[in-house]
Amino acid sequence: MKLHYNQPIPYYTILSNNQTEITLSIRHSWIEIIESLDNLNKDSILYFILQSLRKPIETINYSWPNKTKLILYYTKFFGGNYWYNKDANSVYANDLNFNHCPLAVNACRISIDHKFFNESDASLIHLRESLNLKKLNNLSRNQNQRFVFFLKESPVHSPNLASKDYTYLFNYTQTYRPDSDITATTLQDFFWLFNYKIYPNYDLQSILETKKPKKLLVAIVSNCGGSSNRLKYIKELQQYISVDVYGSCGQRCPKGIDCRQYAYSTYKFYLSFENSLCDEYVTEKFFFALHSARIIPVVLGYARYDHYMPSSGYIDVRNFTSPRELATYLDYLDRNTTAYLEYFQWRQYALHIKLPKYMCELCLKLFVDDKDHKQQSLEHINDYWNRKQCHRYDKNQNGIWTMK
């Protein structure tokens, strides 16, 4: 079986009560498959993902080549050395345990020390840093060294790559987009390992019983600008239904209480509106609500949210022609407990797959590409990363809210 390595889009797989086989659904460049271990090549990544779902992680035996890979953080990360590592100032920052990659714990090393540049197998370059492009292009690189284009922000909040010469500089892309060579989503900060759990006794009634007091609709907004028009939409929505806004653009949360936890324990709906409406861009706003399991997210974005949870578990603003129409529907759910709780039913049968962080994926890819003798250089990174991927939500001439 030929395995084409690309980061999967993680999402929940619905199981029936009597289903005993593990279904691993992988989207985008990976194949979608249900396989027994006996039919898989034991050297494949898919094999040990499936095996890890069947056995405790510590019992898995996977043999790596003798030579380890060295990953170098070539730039800083928002001005600091902290790249999700416990000890980023050590020569080899850690053994990938912190990145929740036990299967590659002895396979890759991580460093921030430039003296190891010549021996590094991959160098991460964060495009939000101030870069000396001339220096980067003139670096003497070994034949198999990969430069990794790294961004977790949307193109709206990224440099204009068309203005500089990045031709053939990068070998890998590592962004939130699922078509990146390595996908670095905010989701990976929540669900880490190749483990799973099912909630057959999920108590739907307790969702409302724990909300004290019961309030309706909440938004937590720290950026009062943004190209998405989310505040304009919220203000119009407030004409028809009660919406409490917290954060820099609203009131303060009660003193001594985590704002998100207060929202999830008090409100029935959470406005998960992105400040940038770019292709596949999803931030922690959505994943916090997803992880809480006690609130219905109302989403505004340009991502395929049904890759992360069933469409029966969230409300998409774009399915309504106006804030007034959305308010009418939310009011209906508020008055109809049965209809409201239907948005939580999927959680009773969800296969919850936890994923490794992006450094684990990069480590694995370095080995896979070497084995396949695969090397690439990206000619025009601006063709891949530009603001044409971003959109604006606003009223048209007929007063209907549409994506532009």
Domain ranges in the chain are 1-197+352-391, 205-349
Reported as half-sphere exposure (CB side, CA atoms, 13 A), residue 69 has a value of: 26
Has this prediction a pTM greater than 0.85?
no
Are 277 and 392 spatial neighbours (Cβ–Cβ below 8 Å)? yes
Least confidently predicted of 65-79, 89-103, 131-145, 294-308? 89-103
Cis link prior to 356 (omega < 30° from 0)?
A: no
Residue 36 or residue 144, greater confidence: 144
**Mean pLDDT computed over every residue of the chain:** 74
Residue range 215-223: average pLDDT? 90
Cα–Cα distance, 404 to 400 (Å, whole number): 12
CB atoms closer than 10 angstroms to residue 218: 24
**Angle, alpha carbons 391-395-400 (nearest 5°):** 115
pLDDT at 21: 29
Residue range 39-52: average pLDDT? 47
Q: Is the pLDDT of residue 215 over 60?
A: yes
Cα–Cα distance, 166 to 131 (Å, whole number): 11
| Integer angstrom CA distances of residue 359 from 24, 240, 242, 372 | 22, 46, 42, 20
pLDDT at 342: 92
3 state SS of 363: helix
At 174-183, the pLDDT tens digits run 998 878 888 7
Cα–Cα distance, 10 to 75 (Å, whole number): 28
Residue range 117-145: average pLDDT? 87
Helices (H), 40-187: 45-54, 133-138
Q: Is the pLDDT of residue 1 over 80?
A: no
DSSP state of 223: -
| Residue carrying structure tokens 């430039």 | 114
Residue 213 or residue 20, greater confidence: 213
pLDDT at 131: 83
Q: Is the pLDDT of residue 46 over 70?
A: no
pLDDT at 178: 77
pLDDT at 321: 93
pLDDT at 297: 94
3 state SS of 103: helix
Residue range 29-36: average pLDDT? 32
User: Which H or E run includes 13?
Assistant: strand 13-14
Q: 79: phi > 0 → left, psi -120 to 50 → alpha, else beta; which?
A: left
pLDDT at 102: 54
pLDDT at 199: 53
pLDDT at 101: 59
Q: Is the pLDDT of residue 236 over 90?
A: yes
Residue range 259-275: average pLDDT? 91
Least confidently predicted of 38-52, 196-210, 371-385? 38-52
Report the topology of domain 205-349. Answer: Rossmann fold (3.40.50)
pLDDT at 95: 45
What pLDDT band is residue 219 in, cutting at 50, 70 and 90? very high
Cα–Cα distance, 129 to 68 (Å, whole number): 28
Q: How long a stretch of residues is the chain? A: 404
Cα–Cα distance, 254 to 247 (Å, whole number): 11
pLDDT at 130: 81
Residue 39 or residue 365, greater confidence: 365
Cα–Cα distance, 88 to 91 (Å, whole number): 8
Provide the token pair at 123. Answer: 């160098």
pLDDT at 177: 86
Residue 362 or residue 100, greater confidence: 362
